[in-house]
């Protein structure tokens, strides 16, 4: 029996389990923002004062937990989902989105590289899941609980993005 992530770049991460994935996302995502906040001396004035960082602290780790839970719950992935081409196409999209974000927000400082790599990683993780998960749900799985998991991830990631738009995450130059 094949796993839905067997030919995915992140398969080794998913195999660690939902809790570990959530912890990795928490420390890599929020942790890299904490490093910038420490460097700019804005831990309390920006990082902990801006509601948008709730996404990085809570919403994104929960989404990572749910994505891993979903993948581990799928027993019979459809063949089209496990094709290696998905990884390459989605990685290309994630890199393009990262470059656009870095350019738009003028984040050309070395202090932003760890968070930029997290952004690319999370974009890949999310886009991959939303596409593969939806295809799996539409074409094979009738499990209502997995539909709820998929919708929850969409809501969590959207809420984090909306918070970032409503309350822009702006640090002074490091």
Q: How many CB atoms neighbour CB 14 within 10 A? A: 23
For the chain, what is the domain count? Answer: 1
Domain membership of residue 155 (yes or no) is: yes
What does the pLDDT read at residue 1? 41
Q: Please indicate, yes or no, if residue 154 is contained in any of the structural domains.
A: yes
pTM score, whole prediction: 0.94
In a domain, 4, yes or no: no
Least-confidence region, from 25-39, 58-72, 74-88, 119-133 = 74-88
pLDDT at 41: 96
Residue 5 lies in a domain: no
Query: Is 73 contained in some domain?
Result: yes
**pLDDT confidence of residue 110:** 92
* Domain annotation covers residue 94: yes
Return mean pLDDT, the chain: 94
Q: Could you list the residue range(s) of the whole structural domain that residue 87 is in?
A: 11-166
Tell me whether residue 174 is in a domain: no
For range 1-8, the mean pLDDT: 80
The reply to whether 148 falls in a domain is: yes
The pair of structure tokens assigned to 142 is: 């009738």
Cβ neighbour number for residue 52 with a 10 Å cutoff = 18
| pLDDT the model gives residue 142 | 75
């Amino acid at each position: 029996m094949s796993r839905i992530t067997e030919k995915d770049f992140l398969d080794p991460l998913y195999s660690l389990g939902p809790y570990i994935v959530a912890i990795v996302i928490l420390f890599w995502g929020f942790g890299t923002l904490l490093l910038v906040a420490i460097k700019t001396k804005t831990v309390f004035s920006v990082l902990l004062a801006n509601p948008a960082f709730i996404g990085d602290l809570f919403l994104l780790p929960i989404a990572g937990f749910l994505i891993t839970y979903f993948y581990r719950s799928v027993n019979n992935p459809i063949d089209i989902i496990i094709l290696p081409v998905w990884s390459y196409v989605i990685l290309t999209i994630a890199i393009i989105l990262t470059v656009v974000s870095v350019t738009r927000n003028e984040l050309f400082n070395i202090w932003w590289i760890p968070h930029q790599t997290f952004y690319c990683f999370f974009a890949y993780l999310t886009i991959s899941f939303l596409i593969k998960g939806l295809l799996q749900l539409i074409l094979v799985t009738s499990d209502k609980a997995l539909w709820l998991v998929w919708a929850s991830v969409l809501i969590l990631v959207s809420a984090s993005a909306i918070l970032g738009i409503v309350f822009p995450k702006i640090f002074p130059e490091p």
